[in-house]
Each structure stands twice: as C-alpha cells, then as structure tokens.
A and B are shown apart, each in its own frame.
Chain A
Amino acid sequence: MPSLGSIRRSFAPWDDPAAKPYISFKNVTKRFGDFVAVDNLSLDVYEREFFSLLGPSGCGKTTLLRMLAGFEEPTEGEIFLDGQSLKGVPPHKRPVNMMFQSYALFPHMSVADNIAFGLKQDGMEKGARDERVAQMLKLVKLEEFAKRKPDQLSGGQRQRVALARAVAKRPKLLLLDEPLGALDKKLREETQFELMDLQQQLGLTFMIVTHDQEEAMTMSDRIAVMDKGIIAQIGTPAEIYEAPNSRYVADFIGSGNILEGNVASSDDAHVTIKGGDGEIVGALRGSKAPANGEAAWFAIRPEKMQVSRSKPENVDNALEGEVWDIAYLGDMTIINLKLDSGNVVQASMINRSRLVEDPIGYDERIWLSFSADSGLVLER
C-alpha cells in the first residue's frame, strides 16, 4: 500500500503515542474585543520539529506565535512548554526566542552588540559572551560585519543578524515570524535551505509563521494550515498536498482544480460524483463514503492529468475542452482548458524535450485524462 511519509523518514514523533509533546496548546482561545483571533485551538508540537503555521493574513497564526513568546496571553485555555504551563510567565522568563518579521534590530547597536544583547541580559561574562558572539557571526557568515550598524547592511544580512541574535541564547524553541518575507525570491530559496541546516545543526525546535505555502512545504516536518482561528488541517507536506481534507486546504496549498457534483455511487475506495462535467470517479478520503446524492467536490492537481489530442482509451476519467490559456514557464507548460460546462481546469506538462514537433495551440479542442486515484472526493 503506497503511503505519504515524512521527509526525514525516521523522524515522526507525532505518530508515536508515547512521545511527549514539547509545545501543547490546550483549547486556546484568544479574543481581541469581539474579534476571535484563535478559536478553541489545540495543537501539539514535538521536540526538534520544524513546524509551520500556514494561512492567509488574519487567520490567527501570528497570534499563536505571540502567545508562545509571551506578548499575548490566551483569553481561555492554556499553553504548555515542556510540560510547564506558560500562564503568567513574562516574555523574558521564557526559554523561547523570536525572530521578528521586521527583524527588530536595535538601530543604535552594532551587529555584535545586537547579538550580544540577550547574553548581556543573562549576565554572561564578557569572555564567554565574546566567544559566543564570534561563534554566531561565523554561523551566519557575517564575521566581517561585526562592527557595522544594522542600516549599513543589506536585507539578507539583516535577516541573518536577526537569526543570529535569536539563536545566540541557545533557546530550546525558536519562533520565526515570516522570516523570509522581506527577501527577494532567489535569496529566499537559498535561505530556506540555510534555515533547515541551522535547525538540524543546533537541534532546536522551530516554529515558523508564513503565508507562503512553498516555503512551508520546503522546510517543514509538519504544517498546520489555519483558517479563521482554527486549524483546517495538520500534517506532513505530502499529506497536506496529496490528501487535503477540505476544499479550503486543497485550494490554499498549491494549485488545484475543484469540480462540483453530487455523489452518484461509491465503494470502499472510490466515489463517483455527477455534476456539470459528467461523471468523475475519485479516491475516497477517509474510511466512510458519503451517502448517495450528497454534495461533494472532486479535487485534482494540474500535474496529475495527461493531455492528449485524441480521446484517450481505457482511462477512469476524461474531460474534453477548448484551450483557453497557455503559459510557458520553461520547465513546464500550464494549460487552462475551458470545459463545455464553462468550468476552467488547469493542467501542467513537464517539458522533457527541448523541441516539440507540433505544440498544442490556442483554441484547440483537447482531452485531459486521469486515473481514479489521482484525485480526491471531498465532502467539504
């Protein structure tokens, strides 16, 4: 039976019932006046995990992070860190450090002084402090910039100073609020891998807030997809991508096609729905099939469909339509197909060969085919 595993195969404490969670949100609610930022949320994160909170702005992900750091107190519920309740513990007494979205570097201090700030607060003596600062500067490759002020650095360098300052005190848990948000695309991709290396190297637990699903997918052991103060789904990147539990998650993660219909028939592995685009058979998510006649949605990723000019034979599903848009991205080509129902479906093709004899063009009528296991039938 094929499965969706974690990237670090041996690392999956969330599947181990005996594993003790490192961070535990227990029925946490946070209200700001009438606005409910976090709604009765429970969540366990394990030691050494790289955990992402992913969602659109206003979904409550930053509030969760700020409650861990101690800048906000839950209205209801409790948060535990390593078994200890964090209730009433002020930020400076928590073994947690945060890297701020704005980096929040002290403008009146040099890079070295910024990194040393937290160590000085702890009363670390000068010799040990200087050594630790040098170590941190080396870690983020900024040795030559120790004496510079933050405004004499580039955005990428500032980001690394913020990171060095946040890990200088060797916190058990590092919170990162949109750590790569201010970097340009290329630098962001490089930094993603640097962050992963750093997390492995230091053996820390990372909790990161991001609205960039690609970033979350690349770095995380697990992702919590959030929506309006609740967790819509929690799982490994592959689980979230390949087995979304709702239309919201399917739509938020990656690009997806969602076709609407009503359940026509089902067995223990597949469900057939019937809608404006005819009958479509997809994999059943979960163990219990929905009753016939109920509304359901079929979700499929663009890369899971085959494109052909002639009607494909011996396939579970086939859709015919007119080419509406073609986007050539170099590594792949994306085709938007307008079905006869008016729905637009996206398919992508990897460009394996440099030269194509007769590429598909605008306004052609083509077919998309896919097996029953390529897509999922969702109930909500």
Chain B
Amino acid sequence: MMRAITNRLVIIIPYLWLLFFFLLPFMIVLRIALSDLEYGAPPYTPQFSLADGWNVMWEKLGQLDFENFGFLASDSLYINSYLSSLQIAFFSTILTLLLGFPLAYGMARAPSGIRPTLLMLVILPFWTSFLIRVYAWIGILKQEGLLNQLLLWLGLIDTPLEILSTNKAVYIGIVYSYLPFMVLPIYSTLEKMDESLVEAARDLGCTRIGAFWKVTARLAVPGILAGCLLVFIPAVGEFVIPDLLGGSGTLMIGKTLWTEFFNNSDWTVASAIAIVLLVVLVVPIVLFQNAQARAAEAGR
C-alpha cells in the first residue's frame, strides 16, 4: 500500500514539474500572444480572464481574432527569420555532427584509462560562462583578432578575413558551443558497443569501411539522433550567438524576438513569435520520440 503511494508520488513529480515550469508559463505567454497591444504597463490588454468566470471566458475565447499571429504572416521579416534560423541551425547541426562523430569515435576507442580524462576535457568548457566564451570568440574572429594575426603571420592570407559580424561567425559560434551536446550522446552509444561486432562483420566479408557503415555507424544512430536534436533545437532559438557574433544581416528568430520585446516593447507579437517557434520545434521532437519508441518496440 505504502509502496503504491510512493510509486505514484515518484511518477507525479515530473508531471508537476512540467505543469509548473512548462505548461503554466506557456499558458501565460499564450494569453499575452492573444492579447491586444497597448501603451502602458504591462503593454497589453488581456482579452479574457479567469476572473470573468467560466461562461464569460468561453464566450470571449470564441471571439478571439489571433491578430498577432496574422501579423507574423503579413510581414516577411518574421517568416525570413524563421527560415533563416532553421537553415542556420540545420547546417550547424550537420557541421557539429561531422566534427563530433570522429571526436566521439576517437574517445570511445581510446585506452579505457584515459577515457575519463577525455570526457572531462569535453565537459570542461561548461565551467566557464557561456556568455564569456562567446565573447572570447569576438577576440579571436575580429579583423585584428588572434585568428587573422595567426593566418597573416603564417603567410596564408594577405588581407585579414572578414569573419566577425557575418553568418560564418554565427556558424563557428554555434558549432563550438554545442559540440559537447553532440559528442556526449554519440560517445555513450559507441562506448558501450561491443568491439567484436565490427570484427564479426569483417570476418563475414566486410572491408573496414563497410563494417564501419554497416555496424558502427548503424548502431550509433540513436546517439546521432539525440545529439542532432540537442544541437538543432537550442540552435534554432539561439539569441546570444547571432547577437554577439553575427552582423546586421544575420536573421535569427531569437534576435527578432528580442528586438520585438525589448526595443519595440511589443510583448504581444514577441509572445506570438515564441508560440510559433515552439510549434515549429515540437514537430522534430515528436518525430524523434516516435522513432525512439519504434526502435524500442523493434528491440523488444
């Protein structure tokens, strides 16, 4: 009896967490997104309120005009921001994967004695504030920065490269910042993989490369998927990196949202942007969940 209650409590905790820290804030944001803009504090007029009582609230809900969402569709800035964010996040994810997989593979195949050290090195950047690390990249990438000085000194270039304040700097910033999120899940799938599986594939007629694709890469797919989502999702909504490293031409939805909220004080449109962003991101998450559930089902 006691056990059953404890079990239930344990299950309830994550749901309570979701309720208080996701669903409630989401409802608040949604309510602002459905409100009308007004000059005042706060700068919006709610269209409905729980205080009206249920019946009145239902009636008012039926009369909502969703004008803020309509506004997003009317101005190409928003659509372009979303598309550009998705594009930047997509290519950064691919770059991170191309860099992260060999890293994770090398770590997983390193002598077991030094693996904890390597793992530590991957996590080490987290000890410094994210903001400071992105700031540091300004010093590296700017016109007279470390990178340009090095390349000039090596004689590889004659004139300094223009990297800072372009999308290139944003890509570098995202790949750098999110690399550990790619490396760790891939490492954990590769690390527990039985090395003799690769040998078995080679024994049965695969070349080294064939065995890598058919066994190693295939079995790392769950880790690769997890890593890609962990990079892609936060990268879409990234604000700090495009703001600090990107230029005026860098369109990202996080930056647009910031501008609406702080510069234009338009809470209602900013909230609508946030809601749409969430919907855009929920799609890949649901797809991933489905894929995982299917994999788990097939594995049983």
Query: Is the C-beta of A20 less than 8 angstroms from some C-beta in chain B?
Result: no
A118 CA to B280 CA, complexed, in Å: 44
Q: Number of B interface residues at 8 Å Cβ cutoff, please give it.
A: 20
Indicate whether A121 sits within 8 Å of B299 (C-beta atoms), given known contacts A100-B196, A102-B196, A104-B196: no
* A-chain residues with CB within 8 Å of residue B196 when the two chains form the complex: 100-102, 104
**Across the two chains, which residue of chain B brings its CB closest to A152?**
B300
**Residue of A91, A107, A108, A122 touching B203 (CB-CB under 8 A):** A91
Q: Are B199 and A106 in contact (CB under 8 A)?
A: no
Q: Number of A interface residues at 8 Å Cβ cutoff, please give it.
A: 26
A165: min CB distance to chain B, Å: 7
**Residue of A91, A101, A122 touching B202 (CB-CB under 8 A):** A91
* A-chain residues with CB within 8 Å of residue B240 when the two chains form the complex: none
B269: min CB distance to chain A, Å: 47
* A-chain residues with CB within 8 Å of residue B202 when the two chains form the complex: 70-71, 90-92
**Interface residues in A68-125 (C-beta closer than 8 Å to B):** 69-71, 90-92, 96-98, 100-102, 104-108, 117-118, 121-122
**Across the two chains, which residue of chain A brings its CB closest to B211?**
A92
Query: Is the C-beta of B194 less than 8 angstroms from some C-beta in chain A?
Result: yes
Query: Is the C-beta of A44 less than 8 angstroms from some C-beta in chain B?
Result: no
Q: Are B218 and A92 in contact (CB under 8 A)?
A: no
Q: Are B206 and A98 in contact (CB under 8 A)?
A: no
Query: Is the C-beta of A211 less than 8 angstroms from some C-beta in chain B?
Result: no
**Residue of A100, A105, A108, A122 touching B199 (CB-CB under 8 A):** A100
Q: Are A104 and B200 in contact (CB under 8 A)?
A: yes
Indicate whether A169 sits within 8 Å of B204 (C-beta atoms), given known contacts A104-B197, A104-B199: yes
Query: Is the C-beta of A189 less than 8 angstroms from some C-beta in chain B?
Result: no
**Across the two chains, which residue of chain B brings its CB closest to A177?**
B196
Indicate whether A100 sits within 8 Å of B200 (C-beta atoms), given known contacts A118-B205, A121-B205, A121-B206: yes
A46 CA to B199 CA, complexed, in Å: 26
* A-chain residues with CB within 8 Å of residue B218 when the two chains form the complex: 108
* A-chain residues with CB within 8 Å of residue B205 when the two chains form the complex: 92, 118, 121-122, 169
B194: min CB distance to chain A, Å: 6
**Residue of A92, A101, A102 touching B206 (CB-CB under 8 A):** A92
A339 CA to B215 CA, complexed, in Å: 60
A255 CA to B205 CA, complexed, in Å: 43
* B-chain residues with CB within 8 Å of residue A104 when the two chains form the complex: 194, 196-197, 199-200
**Interface residues in B193-217 (C-beta closer than 8 Å to A):** 194, 196-197, 199-208, 210, 215
A277: min CB distance to chain B, Å: 49
Q: Are B299 and A107 in contact (CB under 8 A)?
A: yes
Q: Are B194 and A102 in contact (CB under 8 A)?
A: yes
A102 CA to B196 CA, complexed, in Å: 8
* A-chain residues with CB within 8 Å of residue B207 when the two chains form the complex: 90, 92
**Interface residues in B206-238 (C-beta closer than 8 Å to A):** 206-208, 210, 215, 218-219
A90 CA to B209 CA, complexed, in Å: 13
Query: Is the C-beta of B156 less than 8 angstroms from some C-beta in chain A?
Result: no
A316: min CB distance to chain B, Å: 53
Query: Is the C-beta of B298 less than 8 angstroms from some C-beta in chain A?
Result: yes
* A-chain residues with CB within 8 Å of residue B299 when the two chains form the complex: 107, 149, 151
A residues contacting B by CB (< 8 A) are 69-71, 90-92, 96-98, 100-102, 104-108, 117-118, 121-122, 149, 151-152, 165, 169
B residues contacting A by CB (< 8 A) are 194, 196-197, 199-208, 210, 215, 218-219, 298-300
- The 4 lowest CB-CB distance pairs between A and B, nearest first, are A121-B205, A118-B204, A104-B200, A104-B196
